[in-house]
A and B are shown apart, each in its own frame.
Chain A
Amino acid sequence: MSPLDRIANVTTLKQHDVDKLYKVEHKPIVSTSDQLCFLIRPRIKTVKWICDVVNADKAFGRFRRYKIIFSPQKFYACENLLEEQGIFGDVTTDEWSFYLLPLDDDIISLELPEFFRDYFLEGDQRWVRTAGSALHLLHSVYGPFSKVYGIGRCSKMAYESWREQVEEGEQRARQAEIGNVFLIDRDVDLVTPLCSQVVYEGLVDDIFRIKCGCVEFCPDVTSSDKSIKVMLNSQDKVFNEIRNEHFSQVFGFLSQKARNLQTAYDKRSGMNIKQMKTFVSEELKGLKQEHRLLSLHIGASESMMKKKTKQDFQELLKTEHSLLEGFEIRECISYIEEHINRQVSMVESMRLLCLLSLTENGLLPKDYRSLKAQFLQSYGIEHLLTFSNLKQLGLLVEQQPGETLTVMESRVGKLVNDKTAGQIQAGPNTVTVFNTGWVPMPLLYLIQSDEEYDLRVPRDMAYIFSGAYIPLSCKLIEQVLERDGWTGLEEVTRMLNGHEFAVTGSNGSDARVKTDSQRIILVMFLGGCTFSEISALRFLGREKGIKFIVVTTAITNSARLLESMLDNHA
């Protein structure tokens, strides 16, 4: 499903005289229509394709009218290309300032997956103003906000851009509906999106890929001969109850649900005619609907279970957790090596390599060289480009000579350290911060004091990773909100490359009173966020009596993030 489908589907468009819909591709357009309208993201490549279409028509002596609608805005570079290709003026252009697509009650997406690559890899700030505009839009509809917290360079710039837009325009005085805002750059925490997701919604996204809040379940899920598209959001009663659950809990829940359903159906047996009539008219439809959804999610769970067993998921998770904890690194490396040798999923291998590099502050030069060589042998030498991208972004790097010693020292330090060594005294709540050997990132890493973690009754956000690790991004948000700022987190922010800020709006001070709006917090991820993080925030929200609304440039996961780093297609 594409964002357009969610706003105006084919039927709607046809009602408005759209003859036919095409995907913009690099090939001639076969159509008798004398008007073509292109709705595109402002990408040079796409504009080039359109130029080819127009110039081909010109050469052919064919007259058509063309319109390009750029969403959410046009870029000068695109217009410049139109000019260079000699079709400026032949083509009219427009902008559709479409910024926000609500995916669910608490998720708003900008649907800009390219944000991550453009900003973090290429260093191109073209979307910064877009992010600022999105904030500005939210602010004008739900603001004024009382406080803005943020971390990361891009967050800072987006904030600035938003502030300027607020200053340029005039604001209507209105009742605030959202209290605080938290902005966070994706590169503040790259570990979390690279972890395997084990919460139901995240797992569904990892395996089946949710597009625009919609998933296509393949025939082995639907146990029929065709696949079906299903909207996954809070409207789906069954899904709504399991989406945030750890996968191991889902089966129990579903079977309980099935039993309840059976009981509800069974009620019929003792009914008289009148009762039966009310049952049919009032309950039956709902039950049938629930029945359908239930069997769908059971099918999905089974299929995911099968896929994960085949992939030796347990062992994979074990390696991942070892990496996060910084234990048995040699074993992890040989596991990754074998993964590469056996030519199992390229993206998975890359993911593990990146996790290794992130958690170990880079690979030893010897390991880097050998793993890279083996990777290229297994998956193709053109991945030289991928490696160069990963290096550029800092996802997969070599340890610099000289750093080795400090890593070793800290490794030793870690062994010597007991848990108390990493504690930060934080007012009423003592947070345990533990240096796990992610040397530049001593993480807000809540130690699980005992091995047992009851996933049925999760006690903190770590449940989204089986109790092994609290997502840093969410932990930061929790801490900052609790402290009402960054005080006491200086050490942490320093390790995260700083760029943190907290600003109070002019009406922030008098909003001390906890109104309802103060309980709603907007969290904006610049560069994408995962479903696991959203689940963690929902958990945090329930604990603290807050409602989080997540705004993200796109929903991401490890595969999407890494695939955006690939350059190996022509």
Chain B
Amino acid sequence: MSTWPAAGYVASEVWKHTCSHWTVKVQKCSVNINMFFSISNVFKLKESKRAVNSIRSLVEEEDEEDDVEKVSWSGEPVGSISWSVKETESSIRSTGEVRDQSFPKIHTAPSLPKNSSGYSLSSLFKEHSEKLLTSLIVYLLDCRWSVHDDVILLWQDYVSDWTPEETVKRMQQGKVYSLEKFRSLQDKLLLLDEAVNAHDGNVITAVLIYLKKSLSKEILFRELITREIALRHYIHYLKEIGEQKLLLMQYRDHLNVRDENKRRDFLKNCLSFPFSPDDATHVQDHYTLLERQIIIEANDKQVESSGQADIFKKYPRKASILNMPIITTLYYSCFYHYGESDGTFSSPANIRKTFRISDKQFLLTCLGARAKLKAWFDVDALFTTKNWLGYTKKRSPIGFHRIVDILQKNNAPVQVLQDYVNLVEDVEQKISLAQKYKCHDVIINTYRDLKDRQQLIVYRGKVEKGSSEYRKIEEILSNSVRRSFP
């Protein structure tokens, strides 16, 4: 891209540059004030309308030309698509051709009652002449002709009379517009309502930016309260430019704080915000969690580097525990700090209590961590409960079939697995699990207890001949024969 389409300025930019930026020269100006007034006189004749139209179409064409003047990324169309669409086509409009298509209007969003009383476009005459004048001047500017000061002054006088509707339309079309003339609150609001009625978020936001600059916060918000669509645009805009300080967004800012101590302090600060009771608890948890993580991290880092504890040597930490979720922290604590007394911040019991972790959740996490370490004794202890007579029994808040799944995913050996398969209550489920994980003993014993000779014979066909399972089946089969035929 060696040449830059520097002339790509659309009229709107020119306008935004405000008067001071314009170089006002007379030499090249081929249309002067006199001629201008002569056209004004022509207007008084009936031809006025035609003149307006012809000039407007000239203006329009100029506008379009600027629009079309774009960087064209000329590339090959995608091979597979036979009918590709030319993207510039939309902006090419041929004037003067018959419009063959018109769809009716449908009512969209609740349209606000238009109170145009504040508008004093006194007469038809004025409206026409104003259009004529502005078109002319815009045309001059667009052609980048230098214009006489007076013309600019005239233009400024007239430009103010664009109605909210016209202004919004011009903004949508990327034409010259001016918002500075909407000074009374009523005018500003009319403009805003018109923008909302046009359903163009781009224009709504543009108007809101202007209102933000020209109205006090209190007044703007007071007016926006009753205008939901505009309000949402405003909030989104503030969010995007990073000015929005609504409740959750303030909390969100903690993500921008990198240093953990500063982040903790930031969260502490958040505690005083008026969150809903539920959310307040969560934010409190967030603060407590980070506070503890900082303590645990500092401690463990030191222990790990000093090589004091075996567990860190055997399983070096892969990442820091800072900013991890509660459950990950619990897992970490079950992994590295199992069996610590309740009093320490890093103990599983303490974390469980502090963050009100459910039995089910605690069990699952703990199970995962201990199984990972192949600490089958700990796994066993998790389920063992003693009743008042001192008998032990295995209990679980979640079905044992899920426990089996989790253990299996952690590569538990068959000897461990079958203990838990055996605890599955549903016989069919028990057998299918046992078959899935090849717990032969469980299957054989279950069939034996069910006295299902047929299934045993079938199963004998499935196991390896001469293996211990095979012998066991043989034994049971012969035993049962003896018993059935005494």
Contacts and interface: CB of A to CB of B under 8 A. Distances in A.
A418 interface: no
A94 B283 contact: no
Nearest to B76: A12
Interface in A205-243: 231, 233-235
B364 A338 contact: yes
Interface stretch (B115-123, B197-205, B380-388, B473-481): B197-205
Contacts of A137: 85, 87, 89-90
Contacts of B6: 92
A104 to B, nearest CB: 7
A172 B94 contact: yes
B209 A126 contact: no
Contacts of B44: none
A347 interface: no
B220 interface: no
Interface stretch (A76-84, A521-529, A536-544): A76-84
Contact of B73 (A7, A139, A388): A7
B99 A170 contact: yes
Contact of B283 (A136, A373, A381, A570): A381
Contact of B205 (A37, A76, A567): A76
A397 to B, nearest CB: 14
B78 A94 contact: no
B200 A506 contact: no
A260 interface: no
A524 B182 CA distance: 38
Contact of B203 (A76, A118, A501): A76
B292 interface: no
B204 A125 contact: yes
B81 A104 contact: yes
Contacts of B325: 343, 376-381
A369 B327 CA distance: 17
Given A104-B81, A124-B236, A129-B172, A171 B101 contact: yes
B96 interface: yes
Contact of B236 (A76, A122, A157): A122
Interface in B223-282: 228-229, 232-233, 235-237, 239-241, 248, 251-252, 254-256, 278-279, 282
Interface in A463-499: none
B285 interface: yes
B109 to A, nearest CB: 7
Interface in A382-424: 382, 384-385, 388
Contact of A166 (B101, B255, B278, B406): B101
A25 B96 CA distance: 46
A503 B106 contact: yes
Interface in A151-175: 153, 156-157, 159-161, 163, 166-173
A255 interface: no
B103 A141 contact: no
Minimum-distance CB pairs A-B, first 9 = A8-B75, A126-B201, A76-B206, A123-B232, A125-B201, A157-B199, A169-B93, A381-B286, A570-B255
Interface of B: 1-2, 4-6, 8-9, 13, 16-17, 67, 70-71, 73-91, 93-106, 108-109, 171-174, 199-206, 209, 228-229, 232-233, 235-237, 239-241, 248, 251-252, 254-256, 278-279, 282-283, 285-286, 289, 323-328, 355-358, 360-361, 364-365, 368, 398, 402, 406
